[in-house]
Amino acid sequence: MSRNLFIHASNIHQGGGRSLLKALFSNLPANMGLYLTLDKRLSLPDDMLAGSEIRRVEPSVFSRFKAEKWLADHVAADDLVLCLSSLPPLFKLKGHVVVFVQNRYLVDPVKLSGFSLRSRMRIMAERFWLSLRLSNVSEFVVQTPAMKRLMKQFTGGKIKTRVVPFLDCIDGYRRSISFSDLPAASKPRFLYVASGDPHKNHRLLICAWCLLAKEGLFPSLRLTIDSWQFPELCTWISRQSEQNNLDVENMGSLDHGEVKKLYGSADALIYPSTMESFGIPLIEARQAGLSVLASELDYVRDVLDPDQSFDPLSEVSIARAVKRFLGLDESVLPLVGAKEFFTHIFKNES
């Protein structure tokens, strides 16, 4: 009996996950039977899926349960199951089960206070699903050493975890970039490719831009936030931009091709996210020859050395990193000796 490959991606239909799926489906092995469970909303060219048996899954609890039950009924002992939705199968399967974990919120015990009630409920339910069905996993695959450490803590080291930094395009990747490689620009153009989720840290980034404006600095900044999904955040950013005369433009939700064009019109990527499982825009920025200003966190250093780093919880630190990148020095701290200290004290007292 020939070995079969089951790719389970029942809740992936947009964003970076869709790009990774397209890359995988363009390189499916030819010597195996291929069975795919895909979100009904995921649109892919027909020729990309030729030769595969496909089950489309509605975005509902009942439909996803049926897909899980179908897997349990059809996977044999010699089969390989690749789960791409960060979650293990609901039922124990006979084959070798590999779970590719991209959603850091499922294994990082951070607070969810910034999310909507619906999103908090979904993440909590998926955390419970993952912890309850760990025994259904043969091994985990993650994209960075930082995620591997989190997985080890989450599983108690009982389940094998491998680091496979998978990306749809690997050409042109470098850890660092020389300033001599940067294009000359009369006005620095920054780009932040990210959704509007709380950990993406847009509010603090805009606060840093407001601090720069107070010093007479107005670098341009382009964002990629879906205004329909995050209307409150987009309204707040627009209000801050108007009040502080910021050069900030939200390009809205873009497909991957449009995002790549944005890299070509920027000088640097700024990335203040407080947590990531991989951080694909960091790598794509390097591939496009951009400088990177990013959070001084493990997930960043796992994939590259930023040209400037900062504390993502401080708008002052972010603003200072931008100024360093622009070659601007901070004002010297006016230190005083003991004599001057008492002079100031007595002066204020009188």
Name the residue range of residue 232's domain: 179-325
Q: What is the pLDDT of residues 118-174, one digit of tens each?
A: 888 989 999 999 999 999 999 998 988 889 999 999 999 999 998 988 877 777 877
Higher pLDDT, 199 or 23: 199
Q: What is the pLDDT of residue 180?
A: 45
Give the DSSP H/E element, type plus range, for residue 195: none
Report the C-alpha gap between 137 and 82 in whole angstroms: 10
Whether 136 contacts 88, CB under 8 Å: yes
Q: What is the pLDDT of residue 171?
A: 78
Q: Specify which of 100-104, 160-164, 306-310, 342-346 reaches the highest per-range mean pLDDT.
A: 306-310
Pinpoint the alpha helices (H) of 138-226: 145-155, 202-214
Q: What is the pLDDT of residue 308?
A: 95
Please indicate, yes or no, whether residues 75 and 204 belong to a single structural domain of this protein. Answer: no
Please indicate, yes or no, whether residues 209 and 156 belong to a single structural domain of this protein. Answer: no
Q: Phi then psi for 250, rounded to 5 degrees?
A: -95, 115
Please indicate, yes or no, whether residues 119 and 21 belong to a single structural domain of this protein. Answer: yes
Please indicate, yes or no, whether residues 128 and 53 belong to a single structural domain of this protein. Answer: yes
Nearest to 135 by CA among 157, 101, 159, 156: 159
Half-sphere exposure of 145 (CA within 13 A, CB side): 7
Q: What is the pLDDT of residue 13?
A: 62
User: Is it the case that residue 104 has pLDDT exceeding 50?
Assistant: yes
**330: confidence class by pLDDT, cuts 50, 70, 90:** confident
Give the DSSP H/E element, type plus range, for residue 192: strand 189-192
220 DSSP assignment:
E
Q: What is the pLDDT of residue 185?
A: 45
Please indicate, yes or no, whether residues 157 and 14 belong to a single structural domain of this protein. Answer: yes
Whether 279 contacts 301, CB under 8 Å: no
Q: What is the pLDDT of residue 164?
A: 87
Report the C-alpha gap between 95 and 75 in whole angstroms: 6
User: Which residue in this structure is represented by tokens 């993650």?
Assistant: 142
Across the range 330-344, mean pLDDT stands at 67
Q: Phi then psi for 269, rounded to 5 degrees?
A: -95, 130
Q: What is the pLDDT of residue 178?
A: 54
Q: What is the pLDDT of residue 304?
A: 93
User: Which residue in this structure is represented by tokens 């990309």?
Assistant: 48
Please indicate, yes or no, whether residues 188 and 158 belong to a single structural domain of this protein. Answer: no
Give the DSSP H/E element, type plus range, for residue 316: helix 315-325
For the ranges 95-109, 177-191, 317-331, the lowest mean pLDDT is seen at 177-191
* Alpha-carbon distances, residue 31 vs 95, 122, 215, 217 (angstroms): 17, 37, 63, 59
Please indicate, yes or no, whether residues 210 and 69 belong to a single structural domain of this protein. Answer: no
Report the C-alpha gap between 218 and 165 in whole angstroms: 36
Please indicate, yes or no, whether residues 157 and 212 belong to a single structural domain of this protein. Answer: no
Across the range 15-38, mean pLDDT stands at 77
Final residue in a domain of this structure, among 163, 191, 219: 163
Domain count, the chain: 2
Of all residues in the chain, the percent with pLDDT exceeding 90 is 55
Q: Specify which of 27-31, 254-258, 284-288 reaches the highest per-range mean pLDDT.
A: 284-288
Report the C-alpha gap between 136 and 134 in whole angstroms: 5
Whether 11 contacts 59, CB under 8 Å: yes
User: Is it the case that residue 1 has pLDDT exceeding 70?
Assistant: no
Across the range 69-95, mean pLDDT stands at 92
Q: What is the pLDDT of residue 15?
A: 62
CATH no. for residue 61? 3.40.50.2000
Which residues are paired to 271 by β-bridges? Answer: 294
Q: What is the pLDDT of residues 37-69, one digit of tens each?
A: 888 887 776 666 777 788 888 888 899 899 999
- The pLDDT mean for the chain works out to 87
Please indicate, yes or no, whether residues 314 and 237 belong to a single structural domain of this protein. Answer: yes
The number of helices, as runs of H, and strands, as runs of E, in the chain is 11, 13
User: Which residue in this structure is represented by tokens 């997985």?
Assistant: 151
